[in-house]
Amino acid sequence: MPIDANPWYYITFLGDPRLWVAVALILFASRIYFKNRGHHNLKWVGKFILFSGFGMGAAFGASEVLKHIFQIPRACTEATNAYCGGIGTLSFPSSHATIAFAVFTGIFYIIWHSYRTSRKKSTPFVWLWIFIIPVLVSLSRIMLGVHTPLDVIGGAVTGLLITVLFVEIICRVPVLREKWINNKK
């Protein structure tokens, strides 16, 4: 991989699904390793995999379906922009924005729920700073010239909505709610 002087090139990788699948797999393996050694306070890892991991998968699937419904080609080409995807790649919604917002919406739910159940005085608005990373990922896609603002807004909305729906469904299924939300075995 060549070294690139453009910082947006590196920021955009925070929206790459391969990164988050790798993070989820490493956390899953770590959870198994530490749980087998008597550490039982790793419930957040399971929540990360469930909320962010599966939420990301559902959001990515929705993003791909939307790309094929709207069929909007990228405004750039590889000949004019080295960062552009291959010829014929679709633009709306931005998958990087979708992934970043899905993952960090899942993380937001985990943090918000842990503070809500710990009876500490806190509001979800305190934790909105967590969305700085997906906003930067979305901005990186615009700065690299591979997406329009509408593409990344569509991706952000897709990632947020699909993950919120996914988490809300989990919260409504009694078995999943007891195991993952209420921390019962």
DSSP string, 42-95: -HHHHHIIIIIIIHHHHHHHHHHHHHHHH--B-S--TTT-TTS--TT-B-SS-H
Assess whether the previous peptide bond of 174 is cis (omega < 30° from 0): no
- Residue matched to tokens 């599966």: 54
Choose the weakest-confidence range: 27-36, 51-60, 63-72: 27-36
Choose the weakest-confidence range: 1-5, 9-13, 66-70, 170-174: 1-5
**Looking at the predicted structure, is the pLDDT value of residue 100 above 90?**
yes
**Looking at the predicted structure, is the pLDDT value of residue 65 above 90?**
yes
Strand partners, 90: 73
Tally helices (H) and strands (E) across the chain. 8, 0
**Per-chain mean pLDDT for the chain:** 81
At 1 the pLDDT is: 42
Indicate the pTM of the whole model. 0.81
